[in-house]
Structure 1
Amino acid sequence: MIVWLNGTHGVGKTTTANLLQPLLPDSRVFNAEKVGETLMDIRPGLPVTDNFQHWPLWRPLVVETARRILDYTGGILVMPMTVLVEQYWREISQGLHGHGIRVRHFVLHADTDTLRRRIADDPAMGPSTFRFSYVSLYAEAFRTWLSSEAEIIDSTNLTSAQAASAIAGAVHG
């Protein structure tokens, strides 16, 4: 099984994933961003884009990498990764389902003011123009398709530990 943690950049997916992993026996965390980072290291570079998710090879590589990890380790793969383009989510989720992999798709949601405050106050990254630029894209995705495609964890008033506990409860329940 895959527990996919979606939501905009800065909402707390990675922190929540790291806190969730010990709550799910036989689980591991795999951040699909590493697949994108690998593609960004190709020289000469791939066609210029503002987001590696736009490269058509990123999505099937994420599916194949997740499948191979699960084939090797079994258990649960916790994947914190923002996917705001519906077509991209369909490609990934259908690819995983095509391999018989069950996906529990969660969205860590927070209102816009909370998101902006978290991004501005992030002690590790500091204020991030990149993260700020995705707040409105996330809001549009949430309004148009994302909220109906996932289990929503409203993290506006939750700590990451509380969000992890809620997700673990849903997975175990």
Structure 2
Amino acid sequence: MIVWLNGTHGAGKTTTSALVAELLPDARVLDAEKVGEVLMDIKPGLPATDNFQHWEPWRPLVVETARRVLEYTGGALVMPMTVLVESYWREISDGLAGHGIPIQHFVLHADQATLRDRIQNDRVLGPSSFRFAHLEPYAEAARTWLHEEAQVIDTTHITADQAAQQIAASVLGS
């Protein structure tokens, strides 16, 4: 099974994913961003883009990586990754479904003011124009398709631990 944690930067995906993995039996975190980093390391580089998700190989490589890891380890993979382009989400989710891998899709949501504050005051990454630039695309995706495709966990006023508890309860209850 895949437990996909979607949502924009600052919503708490990375922190929450580690906590969710601790609460689910035989769960591991697989960050699909690492697949993008592999592609970014190709020399000479792939065509210029502002987001590795636009590279055609990224999406099927995410599916294949998850499939192979699950085949090897069993259990569940908790995958924290922002996917705001609906066709990209369909390609990934359909690819996993085609391999018989169930997905529980969650969106970690916070209001815009909270997200801006978290990004501005991030002690690890610091303020990031890349992260700020994704706030409006996230809001658009949330309005048009994303919140209908997933269980929304509002992290505006709860801790990552509380979000993880809600996700684990939902996964284990199904």
Same fold (TM over 0.5): yes
Normalising by structure 1, what TM-score? 0.99
The yes-or-no answer on 1:150 pairing with 2:150 is: yes
Q: Which residue of structure 2 lines up, in the alignment, with residue 165 of structure 1? A: 165
Superposition CA RMSD, Å: 0.5
C-alpha separation in 1, matches of 2:133 and 2:115? 11
Where 1:82 maps in the other structure, the secondary structure is: coil
- Structure 2, unmatched stretches of 5+, are none
Q: Please report how far the alpha carbon of residue 113 of structure 1 lies from its aligned counterpart in structure 2 after TM superposition.
A: 0.5
| Aligned counterparts, 1:12-51, within 5 A | 12-51=12-51
Give the equivalent residue in structure 1 for 2:88: 88
SS in 2 for 1:137: helix
CA distance in structure 2 between the aligned counterparts of 1:46 and 1:77, rounded to whole angstroms: 28
Alignment of 1:7-156 (within 5 A): 7-156=7-156
Calculate percent identity across the aligned residue pairs: 70
What's the TM-score once normalised by structure 2's chain length?
Answer: 0.98
Q: Deviations over 1:107-137 (max 9, x none)?
A: 0001101110111111111111111110111
How far is 1:20 from its partner? 1.0
Deviation at 1:58, TM superposition (A): 0.3
Mapped to 2, the partners of 1:59 and 1:91 lie a distance apart of 7
> 1:4 maps to what in 2?
4
1:125 aligned partner, one-letter code: L
- The runs of at least 4 aligned residues of structure 1 exceeding 6 Å deviation read none
- Aligned-pair distance for 1:82? 0.3
- Tell which deviates more after alignment, 112-121 or 100-109: 112-121
Bigger Cα displacement from structure 2, 13-22 vs 86-95: 13-22
CA distance in 2, matches of 1:26, 1:18: 13
2:88 maps to a residue whose letter is Y
Q: Tell me the matched-pair count.
A: 173
